Structure 1
Amino acid sequence: MATRKRRAERREQPLSRERIVEAAIELLDAAGEGGLTFRALAERLSTGPGAIYWHVAGKDELLEAATDAVVADALTAAPAGATPRETIRALALGVFDAVDAHPWVGNDLSRAPARSPMLRVFERVGRQLQALGVAHAAQFTALSALQSYILGTGGLNAANARAQHLRAPGTDRTEFIDAAADAWAALDPEEYPFTRGVAEQLRVHDDRAEFVAGIDIILDGITARWAVAPAD
């Protein structure tokens, strides 16, 4: 009954690119990139694939549009009146949280850095590096370091989430991390002394806090090496 009601509501709304992208995001969240097909999308929208093709040329364009919508929303995270450093931190966290909530976004951003979703991040963070006083000759290098860290860390967390689900469906993050920490603590003490030593830190760490700490480390290096004006 609920499914029929939802389909009826969708039929009453005119089909638009925005509705198609919204439905695509729902499919991607539920089934990943492999689950995004025009047949599944048409079923969700109670229409035919031909009507969708009128608005979107193909799966690649649809995936880019879905990623762009998620990223655009993520980049609204920076508070008004924030310093350049605070804004970079907020923008980075916005992307981190978006990839955490939508793991497929990290894959798409890494695969096509020249497309508009990644360019949004590039432009917003780049302007804040200018505001930090980073010398022009160093701006691309500084941005590349931040971009690689943001995408790499977000992608790694998304991969860990997928691995957790595949290895033990229904297991929550705490159980998954505890199992990993136990495995580290049980390693050979001569071969893995460092890893054994940080096993308890792994057990209690917070992904977002560690991510922000990494951003701050990179920004400290950028401002110390390349800033030609006061940072904030």
Structure 2
Amino acid sequence: MHFPDFFDEAPTVRVRDPLAQLLGASVDGVMEYRYADAVRLTGHSCPTVAGAFLTGRAALTALYPDTLPERGGVAVQMPAPENDGTTGVIAQVLTLLTGAAADGGFKGLGGRFARNGLLDFAEDPKIGEGVVRFERLDTGTAVAVGFNAHTVPMDVAQQQRLMAVIQGDADTEELVVFAGAWQDRVCRLLLEHADDPETVRVTELAAGGGTAVVSAGGGQPQP
């Protein structure tokens, strides 16, 4: 399989997973997730998948500023029902990065390492105004992260190509141009806007309900 070259240049997410270490999947428990892993999981590359990847990266960086994030140590609250729009797709990518799973997730070993029930979906799509809430299980520290793909808008020509694709009117050449322009937008989001606070907005949720915008994604600490 040949992915676009920019996949290798995209930011990565490094975590430490104690379950992976216990069961020998990783000697030190450290694992690195790349954008290509999210693409393999979802089967496609688009602004939504890129946004979910950057959202998870930003949240983990904010929650674990001085150490590698603990996969399985974060609860995730989605702002809408699972079947609302792209919420389910975003949740899949966040499960990949954080380990947080819905009720069908891993139930643990001897009362430890459970991942089920750490991912929750809002009943009302208006709750949270589109931001995803992340909370550390050990400290209770929480952040809300919102993603805005409109900082890299789709141009008019691409909108016209998209309509042709949807209607089945695009020829082979148009399909090639469409795919290239589609991935160019994803590339710009990942390489130029990963740490742009206008694209990835992180809000620290202070005790007592107060909030404070802290930053966008940022680099992750080394083990």
**Normalising by structure 1, what TM-score?**
0.25
Q: Which has the higher contact order (CA 8 A, sep 6+)?
A: 2
Which is richer in helix? Answer: 1
